[in-house]
Copies of this chain bind each other. A is one copy, B any other.
């Protein structure tokens, strides 16, 4: 079907002003809040791939079609779930310490939150901005108050860190998932795959990888180093501004 102006407006209405009580006819027997909670429970228990309108409806004990009186479509439900999760994050500017401690703490909390709720990964680059997302952005900008960064550069820092987290989350979560998998004989995914690599790789064709003797850093370690380097760069920029 695709996105229509109507579905966009309905979704934004829901995000920003919620659902009014009907002027006539029977009252709602549910609330949007309960719907979102039920959807999050399903995602939590059985993963995103199991999150279907039918399952949410079943959990609430209503007919499937009923959901569509609360929510224009599934995409809107996902947007509400995301905004709900964002609302539970600690506002970055309230954290203790200097700008760098604040940013590091928020980035790590973000990563941890994605790890704990992997369903978030697959649904957080949507175009909708809800009230909680908006408030979070403001708080993140305020976490950089006092650095002397011009506004558009502070915005870029927030975006840069956010992008870094999002990019690394995929690998971390994937590693968690693959780490959980084991064959009936107890072999891990990694060891099965390594068997193939060993069998098929021609010696000498991959000198840089062959040179590595230690096991490569885990996705989480890579993330930590990436964050440190990125913030080193930002720090340099901040002192450049200060000294000028």
Contact = CB atoms under 8 A, between A and B. Distances in A.
Interface stretch (A30-38, A65-73, A160-168): A160-168
A156 B168 CA distance: 12
B207 A138 contact: yes
Point out which of A129, A156, A211 has the most chain B C-beta atoms below 10 A from its C-beta: A156
Interface in A160-184: 160, 162-171, 173-175, 177-178, 181, 183-184
Contact of A212 (B155, B168, B228): B155
A156 B16 contact: no
A213 to B, nearest CB: 8
A214 B3 CA distance: 29
Interface stretch (A51-59, A81-89, A94-102, A230-238): A230-238
Interface residues of A, number: 85
Contact of A200 (B3, B16, B222): B16
B135 A197 contact: no
Interface string A210-234: 0111101101011101101111111
A159 interface: yes
A209 B167 contact: no
Given A138-B207, A154-B208, 15 more contacts: A5-B192, A8-B193, A16-B199, A17-B200, A125-B171, A126-B174, A127-B174, A128-B193, A156-B217, A162-B167, A163-B164, A163-B223, A164-B226, A229-B234, A232-B236
14 contacts: A12-B196, A125-B173, A129-B197, A151-B211, A151-B212, A151-B214, A160-B225, A162-B167, A163-B171, A164-B226, A166-B167, A229-B234, A229-B237, A230-B233
